[in-house]
Structure 1
Amino acid sequence: MTDHPTAAPADDAVGRVTDLLAGVDRLGVAFSGGVDSSVLLALAVRILGPGRVVAILGVSPSLAADEREGAHTVARHIGVPVVEISTHEGEVAAYQANGPDRCFHCKHELFTRIDDEVVAAHGLDAVAYGENADDARRPDRPGSRAATDHRVLRPLADAGLDKAAVRHLAHAFGLPSADKPAAPCLASRIPHFTPVTREKLAQIEAAESALRRLGLGDLRVRHHGDVARVELPADDLVRAVTTLREDIHAAVVAAGFRFAALDLATGIQSGAFTLPLVAATHA
């Protein structure tokens, strides 16, 4: 049997994470409903039992309403209660300034609120979040520094579970999020050094929600002032410029933009705004 994470059976992954959670009696999982945190939550339940695990969902204007609802659906499937906490990263000047370290300030706010409001109230021994082994190697993940500062565990990454392995486990566990596209926070759609505001986040959420109602699944609406730059997978481009062209334009304008632009060059790119700045810094 190969020990490569993508080929490891579910019980092997459980064994690795069990070793990493040795000594933990009650665990809080920073939970978004995405595939990474869903797999971490499911693994924790298998190891500790549902009565000793709490899913913690940070709620703010940067979390889309459908993402919030989806997180509750996944947690119910796993059998774990969700504790919602309000986070106020939008009031932090460094977050509003939207530099490449924006995610640090967001995660710092989340983990601070968890420390202050959840750990003692639920008798938690530790808090963990769903960083995987691929994310741990990326230079555009300043949120991981906040996790280190708050001594938050990262069992998936430490167990060597990469994105492919996490997807494999999500299917093995029958999770509703197994095929869910990555859904970073709404603030990631705003170019760095352009201020993050509640109004921009609401525009982005409204546009993306409307486009999903048109049957477009994986997508991003990048906020460029009056222009919404829509990123879609290559398979959706043809219908976007033919049968859906007028509907896409109407949806974007209804969300408060003046113009709709379709990105033909890159499609959907994780870290589209952050990676070029990080690469330049490390060049």
Structure 2
Amino acid sequence: MVAQKLERLRTLFAEIGQALVAYSGGIDSTLVAKIAVDVLGDRALAVTANSPALLPEDLEEACIQAATLGIAHQIVQTHELANSNYASNPINRCYFCKSELHDTLRPLAQTLGFPYVVDGLNADDLLDYRPGIQAAQERGVRSPLAEVGASKLEVREMARFLGLPWWNKPAQPCLSSRFPYGEAITLEKLQRVGRAERYLRQLGYQNLRVRSENVTARIELPRDSIPDFILHTNLPELVSTFQSYGFVYVTLDLEGYRSGKLNQVLQQPAVLTNC
């Protein structure tokens, strides 16, 4: 099945002929970039948006990965926080995020002669609440992984099959996803969360989130990592460090890390109405 979907992806890119890849550095867009450059060579370009919601080390890693893949790579600046529709953090915040992204990428693609912008959306993403999908579709963005029905697990299997060392890289959505809907997002808050997550990674934890609600930090770790964290972390030092970043309260989510947890407050009928 993986080999068949890889072949379908190669055929898809051969038909596209030229492509600008919206490249975040995550495993989905990395796989897309890998296949694009393998099939299209210098007719493929990866473009990464540098925004306030992206950690500097994630941008650096995206650059390293693109160089390893051998794909031409550019960085553009986006300005989501300048849009009050985004900064106010409504439940469709991602719509305005992707609107900003693709309103930046599409003119670049047209200027450079690329007929298509492609992204890393996979088939599983279509089952989640992702208002950014609508913004991309409105702007003619193509999603090769979703078009061939590749799930997240299959993306990782394909990446591993192709020898990509990042095949098991944890998902890392933008830092704005750490805030409950309705709480305004500011540069200061994004930087505070970024510093807190960087601190935990330096302690050896990789798959994590620091959710932020006003002045409270809620640490999410995989459930099986919680006992080790409690037993072996210098908790007073951690609290002091987080408070130096601007948090007042530091808590640990005993349920453990779960992607998209903040979406559980949404009631599906209301979500569908606001799409």
TM class by shorter-chain length? over 0.9
Q: Which moves more between the two structures, 239-248 or 107-116?
A: 239-248
Moved more, 178-187 or 119-128: 119-128
Could you say which residue in structure 2 is the equivalent of 1:112? Answer: 103
Cα offset, 1:280, TM superposition:
5.4
**Cα RMSD for the two superposed structures:** 1.6
1:147 is aligned with what amino acid?
A
How much has 1:177 moved relative to structure 2? 1.9
In the alignment, what sits opposite 2:216? 227
Tell me the SS of whatever aligns to 1:61.
coil
Tell me how many residue pairs correspond in the alignment.
Answer: 271
Counterpart amino acid of 2:67? Answer: R
**Distance in structure 2 (CA, Å) of the matches to 1:281 and 1:150:** 25
SS of structure 1 residue aligned to 2:180: coil
Per the alignment, residue 277 of structure 1 pairs with 266
Residue in structure 2 matching 1:261, options 228, 251, 269 = 251
Counterpart of 1:273 in 2: which secondary structure? helix
Alpha-carbon distance, 1:55 to partner: 0.6
Q: String of CA shifts for 1:36-88, please: whole Å, max 9, x gaps.
A: 00011111122222x11111101111001111111111111110122111101
Post-superposition shift, 1:229?
A: 0.3
Distance in 1 between residues matched to 2:184 and 2:213, nearest whole Å? 11
Provide the residue aligned with 1:47 in structure 2. 39
2:77 aligned partner: 86
CA contact (8 A) 1:44 1:53 kept: yes
Give the AA of the match of 2:120. G
Q: How many angstroms does 1:234 deviate by?
A: 1.3
Report the more deviating stretch, 198-207 or 245-254: 245-254
- Larger relative contact order (Cα-Cα within 8 Å, sequence gap ≥ 6): 1
The 3 A distance-change label for structure 1 pair 97 and 228 is same
Deviations 1:110-154 (A, max 9, x none): 0000122x213322110000000111122x111100111000000
Contact map agreement 1:77 1:175 (CA 8 A) in 2: no
TM-score by length of 2: 0.94
Kindly indicate whether the alpha-carbon contact (under 8 Å) linking 2:80 and 2:86 is maintained by their aligned counterparts in 1: yes
2:114 aligns with 124
Higher percent of residues as helix = 2
Aligned-pair CA distance for 1:231: 0.3
1:224 shift after superposition? 1.3
How many angstroms apart in 1 are the aligned matches of 2:151 and 2:237?
38
Residue in 1 aligned with 2:89?
98
| One-letter amino acid matched to 2:166 | S
Q: Does 1:208 align with 2:197?
A: yes
Q: Which moved more, 1:22-31 or 1:101-110?
A: 22-31
Seen in structure 2, the aligned counterparts of structure 1 residues 278 and 78 have a Cα distance that, compared at 3 Å, is farther
Superposed CA deviations along residues 224-273 of structure 1, whole A, max 9, x for unmatched, are: 122100000012211221211234323322322122100002x1122222
Question: Alpha-carbon deviations, 1:130-186, whole Å to 9, x = none?
Answer: 000111122x11110011100000010110100110000111122232111000000
The alpha-carbon distance between structure 1 residues 100 and 137, as it changes in their structure 2 partners (threshold 3 A), is same
CA distance in 2, matches of 1:45, 1:96: 35
Which shifted more, 234-243 or 213-222? 234-243
Among all aligned residue pairs of Structure 1 and Structure 2, give the percentage whose two residues are the same amino acid: 35
CA distance in 2, matches of 1:203, 1:26: 39
- Between the aligned partners of 1:99 and 1:257, the Cα distance in structure 2 is 23
Q: Is the 8 A contact 1:75 1:82 kept in 2?
A: yes
Query: Helix, strand or coil: the match of 1:242?
Result: helix
Cα deviation for residue 23 of structure 1 reads 3.7
Contact 1:211-1:251 at 8 Å conserved across structures:
no
Distance 1:206 1:126 in 2: 36
Gap runs ≥5 in structure 1: none
Tell me if the contact between 1:74 and 1:175 (Cα under 8 Å) persists in the aligned partners: no
Select the residue among 190, 197, 219 that pairs with 2:179: 190
